[in-house]
């Protein structure tokens, strides 16, 4: 692997030094470029990035390495705190960015024909590889961004993992060591453990802010576990299963009704209520805390005079960057759990008599790499539960990068694409992993190489993410790239508040969604 001066300096630096995410800086006008005499990009490349969650240090490091490799090029980074403003500026006459980077997706821009086709980036072959990028990356991400005619207009800049964190420090204290407790495999086990922690250990088991809809990270995952990932993806496309068992476009009210008739909607909402509903296991002051307060409470720092400890927190893997200062202050050892499987999945298996205890034992067998025969179950049941265990809603599908069309030309587009091709090299991905404490992009770089090749140890947080992903995390989408998925949500955001206050049941939540949308209007969209 070619190493730039910046890369070498960074590798020699302390790898997992935690630092708070940078604040947004002042914006300045962008520039333009003309190719140098050697054919390498020269001039100014302007990148506008939303400074949230993962911060901007990763991009600054990659930009510096790119400049080292291309002496005639300058990469100017403009920071913004407003994702909507970044998107709107990209489709206005005042656009001055060659590349836009956000913690949102750009499907509205894509469908409005405001983005440059970057298929040649996906088709490019980076140094040290024989296959093109699209064949070595996480295939779930490729499938998500690929259009029906095989083109690409966006790419993710972080893979991300979303799920439950646990505070190992506090659990070890409560149980006298990790040999005395087992992390839950199923939602029923999680509910049982929360009950024990609340009643016997004086815990506020689940840290939560009702002002933040982090449970969006698990709703569609649990739905996919129960109904199957194939069915979810087809629903998001606006397809229903006809009498012949084929998925075909929905065109009538009756077909629409059949399409969204999915028992998992009720199962998911009820599970959320069982966990964080009124009087259950969410922090008693969840409706008073903002997301920072709830994360501090999870870390054991308390909230006001309430110093009770918390065990679990639903979040994405940006947590360590976002809460770097508090994490360091608390000294807490926090790690991700593998995806908790919806206990109701047993209703959909061939063996419908499987108990939750037996389901948990099957999950253990899957985690240990045992076969279906060794686990004593059918191949179909084994594969259904394995898919459930290694499915996750990744916020990476909404952390997107794109090249806007307006006020730029072919030479500048080529400049931008050249930078994107560099961004997915091993060199750049190492810099990203360094800046993000061992997290990765979805482009095939194995972050464990940081240990094996550079002697840089991965921390427990990073290792837990690698373990949770298993040998191939299956992406659960929420519909951003599909017409139906954008026009009719299966779930409503911010259900946490209603669940916590007891103002909605599972049935009323579903009814409120379904009554808020015109079936006829949605069908018109699907038919286009």
pLDDT at 441: 92
Token pair of 263, please? 């028992």
Token pair of 347, please? 């209703």
Look at residue 262 and tell me if it is in a domain.
Answer: yes
HSE on the CB side for 249, CA within 13 Å?
A: 11
Look at residue 469 and tell me if it is in a domain.
Answer: no
pLDDT at 207: 98
Domain membership of residue 400 as a residue range = 5-160+396-457
Q: How many domains is the chain built from? A: 2
Look at residue 471 and tell me if it is in a domain.
Answer: no
394 Cβ neighbours under 8 A, 6+ residues apart: 140, 141, 159, 160, 161, 162, 473, 475, 476
Give the span between the Cα atoms of 221 and 244, in whole angstroms.
Answer: 27
Token pair of 70, please? 């291309």
Least Cα distance to 394 among 146, 216, 208 occurs for 216
pLDDT at 15: 33
Task: Region of 220 please: left (phi>0), alpha (psi -120 to 50) or beta.
Answer: alpha
Say yes or no: 325 and 224 in one domain. yes
The answer to whether 73 touches 33, Cβ cutoff 8 Å, is yes
Say yes or no: 237 and 361 in one domain. yes
| Strand 99-101 to 43-50 pairing | parallel
Mind spelling out the 3-state secondary structure of 174-220?
Answer: HHCCHHHCCCCCEHHHHHHHHHHHHHHCCCCCECCCCCCCCCHHHHH
Look at residue 55 and tell me if it is in a domain.
Answer: yes
Token pair of 81, please? 């705190």
Say yes or no: 379 and 311 in one domain. yes
The tens-digit pLDDT sequence of the chain (528 residues) is: 344 433 333 333 333 333 333 333 333 333 444 455 566 888 999 999 999 888 999 999 999 999 999 999 999 999 999 999 999 999 998 899 999 999 888 988 998 999 999 999 999 999 999 999 999 998 888 988 998 899 999 999 998 888 999 999 999 999 999 999 999 999 999 999 999 999 999 999 999 999 988 998 899 999 999 999 889 888 888 889 999 999 998 889 999 999 999 999 999 999 999 999 999 999 999 999 999 999 999 999 999 999 999 999 999 988 998 899 999 999 999 999 999 999 999 999 999 999 999 999 999 999 999 999 999 999 999 999 999 999 988 888 889 999 999 766 778 999 999 999 999 999 999 999 988 888 889 998 889 988 898 888 899 999 999 899 877 677 787 766 666 777 788 898 889 999 999 999 999 999 999 998 888 888 887 776
Vertex 140 angle, CA 61 and 314, to 5°: 75
Look at residue 209 and tell me if it is in a domain.
Answer: yes
Phi, psi of 304 (to 5 degrees): 60, -130
> What's the CA dihedral at 315, 90, 420, 455 to 10 degrees?
-30
Say yes or no: 291 and 432 in one domain. no
| Residue reference for tokens 């690409």 | 152
Phi, psi of 220 (to 5 degrees): -70, -30
pLDDT at 488: 83
> What's the CA dihedral at 225, 230, 235, 240 to 10 degrees?
-120
Helix-then-strand count for the chain, H and E: 27, 12
Question: Which residue, 457, 486, 510, sits at the end of a domain?
Answer: 457
Say yes or no: 318 and 404 in one domain. no
Q: What is the pTM of this model?
A: 0.84
Give the span between the Cα atoms of 490 and 223, in whole angstroms.
Answer: 9
Say yes or no: 277 and 344 in one domain. yes
Say yes or no: 36 and 123 in one domain. yes
> What's the CA dihedral at 254, 260, 261, 267 to 10 degrees?
-170
Say yes or no: 436 and 387 in one domain. no
pLDDT at 25: 32
Say yes or no: 156 and 184 in one domain. no
Say yes or no: 437 and 486 in one domain. no
Say yes or no: 209 and 322 in one domain. yes
Look at residue 462 and tell me if it is in a domain.
Answer: no
Q: For the domain that residue 225 is a member of, what is the CATH number?
A: 3.40.190.10
Look at residue 335 and tell me if it is in a domain.
Answer: yes
Look at residue 465 and tell me if it is in a domain.
Answer: no
The answer to whether 327 touches 314, Cβ cutoff 8 Å, is no
Task: Region of 380 please: left (phi>0), alpha (psi -120 to 50) or beta.
Answer: alpha
Token pair of 477, please? 């989408």
Say yes or no: 316 and 367 in one domain. yes
């Amino acid at each position: 692997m070619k190493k730039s001066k910046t890369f070498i300096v960074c590798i020699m630096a302390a790898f997992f030094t935690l630092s708070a995410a940078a604040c947004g800086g002042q914006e300045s006008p962008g520039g333009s470029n003309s190719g140098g005499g050697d054919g390498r990009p020269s001039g100014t490349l302007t990148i506008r990035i939303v400074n949230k969650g993962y911060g901007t240090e990763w991009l600054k490091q990659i930009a510096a390495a790119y400049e080292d490799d291309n002496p005639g090029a300058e990469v100017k980074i403009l920071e913004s705190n407003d994702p909507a403003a970044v998107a709107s500026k990209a489709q206005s006459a005042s656009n001055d960015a060659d590349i836009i980077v956000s913690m949102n997706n750009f499907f509205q821009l894509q469908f409005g024909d405001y983005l440059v086709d970057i298929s040649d980036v996906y088709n490019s072959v980076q140094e040290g590889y024989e296959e093109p990028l699209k064949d070595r990356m996480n295939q779930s991400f490729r499938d998500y961004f690929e259009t029906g005619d095989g083109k690409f207009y966006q790419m993710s800049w972080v893979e991300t993992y979303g799920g439950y964190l646990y505070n190992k420090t506090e659990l070890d204290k409560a149980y006298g060591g990790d040999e005395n407790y087992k992390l839950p495999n199923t939602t029923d086990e999680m509910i049982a453990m929360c009950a024990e922690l609340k009643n016997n250990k004086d815990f506020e088991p689940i840290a939560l802010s009702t002002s933040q809809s982090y449970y969006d990270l698990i709703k569609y995952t649990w739905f996919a576990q129960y109904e199957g990932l194939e069915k979810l993806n087809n629903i998001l496309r606006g397809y229903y299963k006809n009498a012949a068992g084929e998925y075909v476009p929905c065109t009538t009210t009756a077909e629409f009704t059949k399409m969204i008739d999915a028992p998992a909607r009720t199962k998911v909402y009820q599970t959320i209520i069982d966990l964080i509903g009124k009087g259950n296991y969410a922090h008693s002051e969840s409706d008073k805390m903002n997301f920072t307060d709830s994360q501090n409470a999870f870390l054991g720092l308390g909230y006001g005079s309430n110093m009770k400890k918390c065990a679990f927190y639903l979040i994405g893997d940006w947590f360590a960057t976002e809460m770097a200062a508090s994490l360091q202050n608390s000294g807490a050892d926090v790690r991700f759990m593998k995806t908790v499987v919806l206990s109701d999945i047993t209703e959909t298996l061939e063996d419908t008599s499987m108990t939750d205890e037996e389901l948990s034992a099957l999950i253990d067998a899957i985690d240990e790499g045992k076969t279906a025969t060794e686990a004593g179950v059918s191949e179909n049941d084994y594969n259904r539960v394995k898919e459930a265990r290694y499915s996750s809603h990744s916020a990476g599908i909404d952390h997107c990068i794109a090249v806007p069309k307006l006020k730029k030309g072919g030479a500048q587009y080529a400049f931008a694409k050249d930078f994107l091709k560099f961004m997915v090299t091993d060199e750049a991905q190492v810099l990203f992993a360094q800046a993000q404490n061992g997290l990765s992009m979805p482009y095939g770089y194995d972050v464990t190489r940081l240990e094996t090749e550079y002697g840089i140890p991965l921390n427990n947080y990073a290792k837990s993410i690698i373990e949770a992903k298993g040998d191939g995390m299956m992406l659960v989408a929420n519909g951003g790239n599909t017409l139906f998925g954008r026009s009719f949500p299966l779930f409503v955001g911010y259900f946490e508040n209603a669940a916590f206050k007891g103002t909605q049941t599972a049935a009323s939540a579903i009814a409120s969604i379904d009554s808020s949308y015109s079936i006829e209007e949605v069908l018109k969209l699907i038919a286009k």
